[in-house]
């Protein structure tokens, strides 16, 4: 019996996961007596330091934490105690807002830059200069001018989403095959119809690639941005749990950040597949 490559890959994945969990469990359950310790310091460090158990939670703790988090994800017990679902919703909403704003700006602007070699050259130095700036470097400027931490976070997402979409849209539009444009010319297709029926479908796969890169970067940046501005969001949640010394919740949050990022990427991958045409 020979299994398909996909099935064998899945089995191997499960095996790697099992090995990893086992190693993790062994690593954290190590005994040993606690070294003599200043009681004041021991109190500060919590129970685990005194009993000699590792402060690092094991896989079972994480599973329990995950269950706790997912059983009631939307509870709200005040500023510093909200369910992980609420915090995620805040983060996703900020990413969606900033990313959509970037789509609204980058796609039309990229179209214009891609269609006009002159504007392409004119904008190029600015794009090259602004693109490598870490989006978080904009944060103080955003806080100073916008004076609202939530909107500042959205602005940072907007900035980091902008460049990949702008560059990809301009590239996709400027590299539409001449023969397709010639078809439009010989059929006397007007500019608006040409943009919508020839250039947009031809450039759509490249534009979607830019959108997919953007949403990935935006999801990376939102965690850091929310750690900075605080208040709500999954980034703030992670920081808050670190302050509570709840490593279990930190790891639970890390897992969930990964899952949501994967879901966002997959959604854009679907959209990308939908507009990609066989050559």
Q: How far is CA 128 from the centre of its chain?
A: 23
CB of 279 to other proteins, least distance (A): 6
Q: Kindly indicate which of the ranges 88-96, 103-111, 193-201, 243-251 contains the residues binding other proteins, using the contact rule CB under 8 A.
A: 193-201
Q: From the CB of 188, what's the least distance to other proteins, in Å? A: 5
Q: Choose which of 17, 183, 262, 267 interacts with other proteins (CB under 8 A).
A: 183
x/- letters, 61..90, toward other proteins (CB under 8 A): ------------------------------
Applying CB under 8 A, the span of 1-9, 15-23, 182-190, 230-238 interacting with other proteins comes to 182-190
262, burial (CB in 10 Å: exposed 0-12, middle 13-18, buried 19+): exposed
- Kindly state the smallest distance separating residue 195's Cβ from other proteins, in Å: 14
Query: Considering the rule CB under 8 A, would residue 191 count as an interface residue with other proteins?
Result: no
Q: Which of 92, 96, 127, 189 binds other proteins (CB under 8 A)?
A: 189
Q: Which of residues 195-234 bind other proteins (CB under 8 A)?
A: 197-198, 201-202
Contact segment (CB under 8 A) with other proteins among 5-13, 18-26, 245-253, 270-278 equals 270-278
Residue from 38, 40, 76, 179 touching other proteins (CB under 8 A): that is 179
Please state, in angstroms and rounded to a whole number, the distance separating the CA atoms of residues 167 and 184: 25
Provide the minimum distance between the beta carbon of 15 and other proteins in the complex, in angstroms, as a whole number: 39
Residue 175 as a binder of other proteins (CB under 8 A): the answer is: no
Q: To the nearest whole angstrom, how small is the minimum distance from the Cβ of residue 173 to other proteins?
A: 15
Q: Which of residues 114 and 233 has its CB atom nearest to other proteins in the complex?
A: 114
Return the range that interacts with other proteins (CB under 8 A); candidates 104-112, 178-186, 230-238, 240-248: 178-186
Task: Check the CA dihedral 64-70-74-80 and report its sign.
Answer: positive
Q: Which residues bind other proteins (CB under 8 A)?
A: 179-180, 182-183, 185-189, 197-198, 201-202, 275, 277-279
């Amino acid at each position: 019996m020979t299994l398909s490559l996909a099935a064998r890959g899945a089995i191997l994945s499960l095996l790697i996961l099992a090995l990893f969990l086992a190693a993790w469990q062994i690593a954290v359950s190590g005994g040993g007596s606690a070294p003599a310790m200043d009681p004041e310091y021991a109190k500060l460090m919590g129970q685990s330091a005194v009993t000699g158990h590792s402060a690092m939670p094991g896989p079972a703790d994480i599973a329990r934490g995950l269950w706790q988090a997912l059983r009631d994800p939307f509870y709200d017990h005040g500023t510093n105690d909200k369910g992980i679902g609420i915090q995620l919703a805040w983060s996703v909403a900020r990413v969606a807002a900033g990313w959509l704003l970037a789509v609204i700006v980058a796609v039309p602007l990229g179209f214009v830059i891609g269609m006009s070699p002159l504007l392409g050259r004119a904008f190029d130095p600015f794009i090259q200069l602004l693109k490598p700036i870490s989006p978080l470097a904009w944060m103080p400027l955003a806080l100073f001018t916008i004076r609202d931490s939530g909107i500042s976070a959205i602005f940072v997402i907007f900035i980091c989403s902008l460049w990949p979409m702008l560059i990809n849209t301009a590239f996709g539009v400027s590299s539409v095959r001449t023969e397709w444009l010639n078809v439009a010319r010989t059929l006397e297709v007007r500019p608006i119809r040409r943009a919508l029926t020839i250039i947009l479908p031809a450039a759509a796969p490249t534009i979607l690639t830019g959108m997919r890169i953007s949403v990935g970067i935006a999801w990376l940046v939102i965690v850091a941005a929310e750690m900075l501005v605080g208040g709500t969001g999954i980034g703030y949640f992670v920081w808050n749990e670190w302050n509570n010394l709840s490593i279990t919740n930190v790891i639970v949050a890390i897992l969930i950040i990964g899952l949501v990022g994967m879901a966002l990427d997959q959604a854009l991958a679907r959209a990308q597949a939908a507009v990609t045409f066989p050559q």
